[in-house]
C-alpha cells in the first residue's frame, strides 16, 4: 500500500483501540484501522474511518443525552 505522506509502498494497516472523552463520557472504539508507514514513521486514519468514528461519537452523545433525561 502506498503511504499518502511519503509515497513509499510499504505502508500497512494496523488495528488499534482509540479512546475519546473521559469519566462517564469515555468512549472506546476497538479495531480501528490505522495506516502505518515504516519508512516515514507516520500513522494516519483514512477519511472514511474518520467519518465512521464521527458517526459513532455522535450516536454515543445522543444516547448519553437521552439517558440524562431519565
- As a whole number, mean pLDDT of residues 47-57 equals 94
- As a whole number, mean pLDDT of residues 21-35 equals 92
pLDDT score for 24: 83
Q: Tell me which of 64 and 27 has the higher pLDDT.
A: 27
Model confidence, pTM: 0.78
Task: Determine the Cα–Cα distance for residues 8 and 1; give it in Å rounded to an integer.
Answer: 8
CB distance 44 to 5 below 8 Å: yes
Q: Tell me which of 19 and 68 has the higher pLDDT.
A: 19
* Strand-strand pairing, 12-20 and 43-44: unpaired
* Averaged confidence pLDDT in the chain: 89
Amino acid at each position: 500500500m502506498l503511504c499518502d505522506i511519503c509515497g513509499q509502498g510499504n505502508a500497512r494497516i494496523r488495528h488499534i483501540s482509540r479512546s475519546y472523552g473521559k469519566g462517564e463520557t469515555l468512549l472506546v472504539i476497538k479495531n480501528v484501522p490505522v495506516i502505518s508507514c515504516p519508512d516515514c514513521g507516520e500513522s494516519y486514519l483514512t477519511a472514511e474511518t474518520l467519518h465512521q468514528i464521527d458517526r459513532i461519537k455522535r450516536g454515543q452523545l445522543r444516547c448519553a443525552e437521552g439517558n440524562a433525561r431519565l
